[in-house]
Every structure is written in structure tokens, then in C-alpha cells.
Amino acid sequence: MMRILFITSNRLGDAVISTGVLEALQKRYPAAMFTVVCGPVAAGLFEADPRCERIITMEKRRHDRHWIDLWRACCRTRWFMVVDLRGSLIGLTLRARRRIIVRGGRRPGRRVEQLGEALGYRRTPMPRVWISEAQRAEAVAALPEGRWLALGPTANWDGKIWPPERFVELAQALRAENLRPVVFYGPGEGERTRAESVLKALPEALDLGGDRSLGEVAALLQRCTLFVGNDSGLMHLAAAAGTPTLGLFGPSRASEYAPAGRLARFVEAPGPEGHAPIEGLGVAAVLKAAKEILREKDVCVPDRRSD
């Protein structure tokens, strides 16, 4: 059997961005089966992918021993191809007919475009999600039909978090568009704490955060009319799911990590990119961008990027 080893990021956002080139490889090699290497937080992205026969979760260990563990898990297989998006040396040490090793580290330009170019694609492969029928059914049960405003008020560090009271003000302003808020956040007490003030200020909001599978979260996001949230893995997941997405940027770089999708847009706080405080981003600018996406959505045919 033709087997391809696909090594992607430990972080959720970067792993979501890489799903586009994974799908492109699957189309290029329709007979191949894939082993995906990623971090534990991103493993759920690939669980429903029918072409993914194995997921290897790699947790960091002292002295880079996680790479030794990975080599031991892969060294007995004769790979048709090794695709390493982390720029490590492991691809050179495994038996493989072909190797694609993408240089690691940050550099100017959109990450999604960099990956496409590195794998030789003239058109940038857009991120996508895989959703099982069970996950889709769970989403239908949890979120009935309606016009839902998905809010993502958390992020992996506080500097990227738009003030909670502004999420509340935005949700109240978008009631005029018949949008009802739904609050998403990740697993763990820290995520819940970051989202709590928004939930308390919006008693009508549905709380859909916490320990849900990534496939179910993607299915829930697909049922939403609009997602507005901080630069985060959840923002990238919403865009990959085909949900109209508005990402909020302050000190992080939209030029590298803006959401990628048909109706994915972003707004930035004023100031030098990479150093602008997120507090400088006002509600008026976000509301204007959100309404523009809603108007554009009304004239677009839906394009859900999932199975």
C-alpha cells in the first residue's frame, strides 16, 4: 500500500492551516493512505478523515526525545513519501521514495500560501475540516436552526484577547441583524474563565464551549451565520468549516495568520503590525466589518469545506 507520512504542527491554528495541502496531496495520490503526526490538541482534526489510517500525537519531551519516539514509531515502514511541515531532520532518516521538507520558522507572508508554494501548488489549497455523521448529528441536537452569532472570546495568550465588554457590545448591536449569540471556547478551566464574563453579560447566549471534539465544534460552527473571534485556533477552524469569519488582530500578524476561506476577513487594531494593542480596536470598526460580511454572504452560494 502507498503510505504517506504527514508531519504537521502541534498548535491547532497551524494544523488547521495545513489541512489544505493535506487534502491536495490526497487528491494527487488517490491510492495513498496517510499517517498524520501532530500535537494532542490538534489530533481531533483528522479523526474523521477516511484517508487517515493513523494519527501519531507528539508531545514535547526534554532533550527533544519526542523526535526519537517519532522515529521509532515510523522507522519500520517504507514510506512512499514523507511530508514534513516542521522542517525537522526526521524525513532524511526514514526510508522513503520522496521527501518534502518545508523550512521551519516564521517568515513574511501568509502561512497558508507558503505551504501551498512549498508543495508546488500554483493555487493555494484552502483549509478544510472532516466531520463524521455522528458529530454532525450531535451538532444538530445542540444547536437548532437559526441565525447564530458565534463568538470566540478566548486565545492562547491574553495579549490577543479583545476586551470582553466589546464582544458583549458587538453582540447587542448585531441583534438588529436577528443574530443570537453562541459562545465557543476550548477545554480547560483557563478557557472557561476567559469566556465567563461574556457569558454572564449575555444571558441569552448559548454556551457551547468546553471539552467537545474538534469535529463537533466544526459542525456547530457550520450552523452559525457568522463567527467573530480573536486570532486563535478556533478562528482558523471556523474559516476552514466555511463559516463566514471575522478575525480580530492586535499584536499578532494578520499578514501571516489571517483566516483563510471564501468569506474569511479580518480587522486590525491601529498601529504597527505585530505591536498594536488589541485594546485599540473599537467596536465600530468590528461592527462595520461584520455587517459587510453579512451582506456579502447574502449574495454568495454556501461553500462548506468539509465531508
Q: What does pLDDT average to in each consecutive run of 10 residues of the chain (307 residues)? A: 95 97 98 97 97 95 89 96 94 94 85 95 96 97 96 96 98 97 96 97 96 96 98 98 98 96 96 95 98 89 60
- pLDDT at residue 141, rounded to an integer: 96
At which of 119, 153, 185 does a domain end? 119
Is 110 found in the same domain as 142?
A: no
Cβ contact 101:87 at 8 Å: yes
For residue 307, being part of any structural domain is answered with no
Is 141 found in the same domain as 49?
A: no
Is 63 found in the same domain as 204?
A: no
At which of 61, 95, 119 does a domain end? 119
Gap between the Cα atoms of 36 and 55, Å rounded: 5
For residue 109, being part of any structural domain is answered with yes
For residue 168, being part of any structural domain is answered with yes
Helix (H) or strand (E) holding 97: strand 96-101
Grid cell 451582506 is found at 295
Cβ-in-10-Å burial (0-12, 13-18, 19+) of 145 comes to exposed
CATH number of the domain that 265 lies in? 3.40.50.2000
- pLDDT at residue 104, rounded to an integer: 76
For residue 77, being part of any structural domain is answered with yes
Return all residues near 134 (Cβ < 8 A) that are at least 6 apart.
Answer: none
Is 232 found in the same domain as 171?
A: yes
At which of 119, 154, 170 does a domain end? 119
- pLDDT at residue 61, rounded to an integer: 86
Tally the domains of the chain: 2
Gap between the Cα atoms of 37 and 56, Å rounded: 5
Residue 7: domain span: 2-119
For residue 65, being part of any structural domain is answered with yes
Q: Tell me the whole-structure pTM to 2 decimals.
A: 0.95
